[in-house]
Structure 1
Amino acid sequence: MTMPDRRMVTLLISVILLFPGTSYPRQRSSNQTITWYRADFPPVTIVEGPNAGLGFFDRVTDLLSDQLPDYDHRHQVANFKRIIIELKNKKNVCCPSLYKTRERDTFISFSIPAMVVLPNVLITQKSLKDKLGPYLDRNKRVGLTGLLENKNIRLGISNGRKYSGGIDEVLSQFQGAENISIRSGEDVFKGLLDMLFLGRIDCIIGYPIEASYFLKGKPEFNKLQIYFIAENKIDFTIGHVGCPKTEWGEKIIERVNQVLIEHRQTPEYLDFYEHWLNDDTVPFYKKTVADYYDGE
């Protein structure tokens, strides 16, 4: 080796010793990577179009990613059934928008409440009011059990989705019924709305804001009729962040809870959901959230 070559090697070694942290990028292990799963579920999570990434739980995911900088954050889209399977298989994945059920609690580590959400309702067309009328109580709430006992009334639901509040218990009694259409895929609710207006089904279970998201400004929007569900015993539902019930998952949830405690009642955080409500509903929602956290 010539003298200039030796000097060059000496110089390179000196640089490496002086700046060891910048010599080579450190590859994080799989335990330092969170894969965030989300469904195509506007406006909860929005995966395409001009509002992609602006769903209210998309924004929760962004907040958590910012507040957990020591992890790599990756994103995947799947339906809820696939997401639950991944969690059940103890993969290093999390979902920002899950309902807590007794069954799920056996294999999912849930965060504290991450979002207070107005309840699921029955969505139909005004033209079908007479058909559904016999199943309404004095408060104009629809009895889902009686409705499903009529085989001539067809209901559409999303595959793998939990509706909470007593609705799932009713649906379980009619598992496999021919008058319940179960839709899968990455455009589930939009597909159900299409089926509704094509006359293939008579009603859907979902959030009012879902229907507003897809139909606002369209002629079909004014054709919608919404009924609260009599068997739904709660005024709101609670969304949680969920990770597998493993040492890794519980560690992530512990960190998530710290972020939620700090942010979930701030105006900026509440706007994640309020952004999708009409102006008349925002005051009711603010009071609902305040009452819930005051009583927690």
Structure 2
Amino acid sequence: MAFYSAEGHAADNTKSRPVITWIRWDDPPIFINSGPFKGLGLLDNVEALVQKALPKYQHNRTDGTVPRVLKEAERKAEVCNAGWLDTAEWAKVFYFSKPFTVIPSNGVLLRESRLKDIRNLQPYSLQKFLDQKPNWKLGVGRLYGEGIDDVLIKNNYLKNPKIVTITTSLRVHQMIASDRIQYTLGYPFEAVYYNKLLDIQDSVIHIPLTDNRPFTNVVVACPKSPWGKKIIADVDKVLNNKELLEHISDGVDKWLTKEDRQRLGDPRRALMKKYYPNLL
């Protein structure tokens, strides 16, 4: 009898807590929903850490897509996501937390053996690749942010024979491995993930571009509503914790090369100095 009573009390306690629904999308290694690395994505880690630090809320999850994330934000649904890019454009529809980490921005991803073919393109820009490598195919499958998207639009990417639209990141990297396309766009941690998943011997590497900022801050995002503003205020309080921020960085570093981790040293110190000076 006592067992059932305790269970009922726990259920009542859960129901009495306010709810945050966290939306996620299958985009390894940001979120990893299946396969040998399931649950080990960058934002899988952030989501779990933030939820654990906010026990006064009941935390629910829902699967979606990036377009659905935006649609939910526009209609001010009570839905947050554990990681979004801190840009002025996105700030029109989201309240943002303080940045909890910084990552290298999108760049060109290609096989390491091709480095010798692009030395003359330095400093690297997407337009140079499109102009000076006319026989190379570029595979794209999503938005890449300010700067890069501008170049794609300028080059009429949907009808450009040098650019192939591909539905999934997995398919993009399979086509790089088989040389059906010669390069794509993405984050360095995507290259690390697919090198491991597909056991690629001629490793795919990340080439930073001059089209965008070299680094991007990552934030928790909630809708621009009184509810969202309150959640973000609570998130900011729990982010002000050095151990939690270090655990977040560890989850990012898992999917970065030694060189990229070293590149992040100064940006990470700058982020801490600006947003968390009390933790230094």
Shift of 1:67: 1.6
Q: Kindly indicate whether residue 201 of structure 2 is the aligned counterpart of residue 215 of structure 1.
A: no
> Max radius of gyration: which structure?
1
253, 262, 268: which one aligns with 1:274? 253
CA 1:142–1:281 in structure 2 vs 1: closer, same or farther (change >3 Å)? closer
Structure-1 residue corresponding to 2:130? 148
Compute the TM-score of the two structures, normalised by the length of structure 1.
0.77
Q: Kindly indicate whether residue 104 of structure 2 is the aligned counterpart of residue 124 of structure 1.
A: no
Shift of 1:46: 1.4
CA 1:291–1:147 in structure 2 vs 1: closer, same or farther (change >3 Å)? same
Q: How does 1:188-203 map to 2 (within 5 A)?
A: 188-203=168-183
Structure 2 unmatched runs, 5+:
1-5, 276-280
Shift of 1:95: 1.2
Shift of 1:276: 2.4
39, 56, 60: which one aligns with 1:74? 60
Residues of 1 paired with 2:96 and 2:269: CA distance? 22
Q: Kindly indicate whether residue 186 of structure 2 is the aligned counterpart of residue 206 of structure 1.
A: yes
Shift of 1:128: 4.9
Compute the TM-score of the two structures, normalised by the length of structure 2.
0.80
**1:8-38 CA distance string (max 9 Å, x none):** xxxxxxxxxxx9x949825738x92222112
Structure-2 residue corresponding to 1:42? 28
Q: Kindly indicate whether residue 217 of structure 2 is the aligned counterpart of residue 238 of structure 1.
A: yes
207, 212, 215: which one aligns with 1:227? 207
- Partners of 2:49 and 2:244 within 8 A in 1: no
What is the percentage of aligned positions where both structures have the same residue? 28
Structure-2 residue corresponding to 1:9? none
Structure-1 residue corresponding to 2:15? 28
CA 1:177–1:97 in structure 2 vs 1: closer, same or farther (change >3 Å)? farther
Aligned partner of residue 77 in structure 1, secondary structure? strand
- Which amino acid letter does the alignment assign opposite residue 168 of structure 1? D
CA 1:130–1:280 in structure 2 vs 1: closer, same or farther (change >3 Å)? closer
Shift of 1:70: 2.0
Residues of 1 paired with 2:271 and 2:10: CA distance? 51
CA 1:205–1:280 in structure 2 vs 1: closer, same or farther (change >3 Å)? closer
